[in-house]
Amino acid sequence: MTATEEGPQARGGPPAVGAAALPTPTRERKRAMIKLSSRTTLLAAAAIAGTVLLAGCGDETAETSTELAITGTDDLTFEPDTVAVPAGEEVTVELTSEPSVDHDLVVAGAAAHGRAGDDGHGDDTDEHATDSEDLHVAHADPGQTVTATFSIDEPGDYELYCSVPGHRSAGMTGELTVVDAGA
Ligand SMILES: [Cu+2]
């Protein structure tokens, strides 16, 4: 019975160390690697989802800037139609009208909260009647690009619109977010 006794000792003894101690860490490492890689995959997926979400949000929340370039299109839209500026800072806006129609840029309800410089139009007469509560910023003839300035002190969301007759009702509006610089 030495064989049977030696057997387990010779085979079971040392191999037991090898079989129990070696494969187990390897298996665990493998499992850990699988866990890690699946976590990496999850993270990658989350990152992609985040990018997609951010990209999706990008259309709605504009980056704050003191330099805006807005085009009034022949289709009676603003491009971009969503912009953001810091509160209380002078903003320079380049307004371009596409070749067929003239456009202007008015910030609804902002007259009491801000001021606008020359509208860039050359002659200083506002051609289109705007509500006195609204801030007339810029006016560009067809095919013209004008540079104007304005600033708004009160943070909030303001509606942009074009006051050329018929344009606002045709949907020529946008959104201006005035962001508290301290926030
Ligand atoms: Cu217009």
Residues 144 and 171 in one domain: yes
Reference 104, options 120, 82, 86, 88; nearest CA is: 120
Same domain, 133 and 51: no
- Count: domains in the chain: 2
Residues 101, 24 share a domain: no
Q: Indicate the helix (H) or strand (E) that contains 45.
A: helix 23-58
What spacing in Å lies between the alpha carbon of 149 and ligand 1's midpoint? 19
Report whether 153 contacts 181 (CB < 8 A). Answer: no
Instruction: Map tokens 């606002």 to a residue.
Output: 168
Q: Does one domain contain both 105 and 26?
A: no
Whole-number Å distance, alpha carbon 91 to ligand 1 midpoint, is 21
CATH number of the domain enclosing 135: 2.60.40.420
Which uninterrupted H or E stretch holds 119? none
Range of the domain at 51: 2-58
Q: Are 49 and 164 in contact (CB under 8 A)?
A: no
131 and 167 fall within a common domain: yes
Distance from Cα 114 to the centre of ligand 1, integer Å: 22
Residue 74 pLDDT? 98
**Stated pTM of the model:** 0.66
Output the CA 94–ligand 1 centroid distance in Å. 15
Kindly state whether residues 97 and 160 are assigned to the same domain. yes
Low-confidence spans in the chain with pLDDT less than 50 = 1-25, 33-34, 36-37, 40-59
Output the CA 57–ligand 1 centroid distance in Å: 26
Shared-domain flag, residues 36 and 83: no
* Rounded Cα–Cα distance for residues 166 and 43 (Å): 50
Residue ending a domain, choose from 36, 58, 80: 58
pLDDT tens digits, one per residue of 67-120: 999 999 999 999 999 999 999 999 999 999 999 999 999 999 999 999 999 888
